[in-house]
Amino acid sequence: MIEDLSMHLADLIQNSLRAGARSIGISLARLGGSLVLEVSDDGAGIPEDLLPRVTDPFFSTKPGARVGLGLPLLVQTAEETGGECRVERREGGGTRVWARLGWDHPDRPPLGDLPGTLVPLLATHPEVEFTVELSDDRAKWTLSTRELREHLGEVPLAHPDVLRLLERELAEGLAQVGLKEER
């Protein structure tokens, strides 16, 4: 099923896209002994009365879907590593999903192939502005697709040279902020 944290992130991003988001913020931080991940969007948001149910594995807002396993699995994963996961409505619309996991906990899934997961998603949604922020206690690395597009003009992010550059940059970003795993 969802084997690594980059898959969890991809799943959260899909939820944001499905909610019609035009701006999606993705952040991953290694703070002290914790790994904190967050995806926030300006999409349709979750109605107040449904909020307590979104982490129920037998609940889904998707038409035809019987179960929505993404969020419940993230909650379970976070709690198994001594952390927690919260799903909140954002003021002014949209949703914020925040999870804290124990970095050194043996049950923490690996980060997985973050560049290989995020870059194709970022590149195939020209209508959405993505911001990616990677950080630790000392440093911060950011990427904004809006800024990239300003520099690239008519050239799409899905252009092969851009894809390669983005994957390389993201991998370097992960290494800069201590998010590179030796597993």
Partner 1 sequence: MKLEELRKIRERAEADLRLRGGPTRVKIVVGMGTSGIAAGARATLRAILDEVARRNLRDVTVTQTGEKGLAAQEPIVEVHEPERITIYGEVDEALARRIVAEHVVNGRPISERVVAVREVKG
Residues that bind partner 1 (CB under 8 A): 1-3, 7, 10-11, 14, 17-18, 62-65, 68-70, 113, 116-117, 120-121, 123-125, 143, 147-148, 151-155, 158-163, 165, 169
- Which is nearer to partner 1, 28 or 103 (by Cβ)? 28
Phi and psi torsions of 80, nearest 5°: -65, -25
What is the rounded distance in angstroms from the CA atom of residue 122 to the CA atom of residue 60? 25
Task: Measure the CA–CA gap between 111 and 131, rounded to whole angstroms.
Answer: 19
Q: How far apart are CA 160 and CA 114, in angstroms?
A: 18
Question: Is the distance from CB of 157 to CB of 126 less than 8 angstroms?
Answer: yes
Would you give the distance in Å from CA 83 to the centre of its chain?
17
Query: What minimum distance in Å lies between the beta carbon of 52 and partner 1?
Result: 20
The distance of closest approach from Cβ of residue 41 to partner 1 in the complex, given in angstroms and rounded to an integer, is: 13
Nearer Cβ to partner 1, position 7 or 51?
Answer: 7
Structure tokens at 98: 């925040």
Measured from the CB atom, the residue of 29 and 74 that comes closer to partner 1 is: 74
Of the pair 64, 92, the CB lying nearest partner 1 is at 64
Closest to partner 1 by CB, 44 vs 69, is 69
| Ramachandran angles phi, psi of 8, nearest 5° | -60, -45
Token pair of 48, please?
Answer: 């107040």
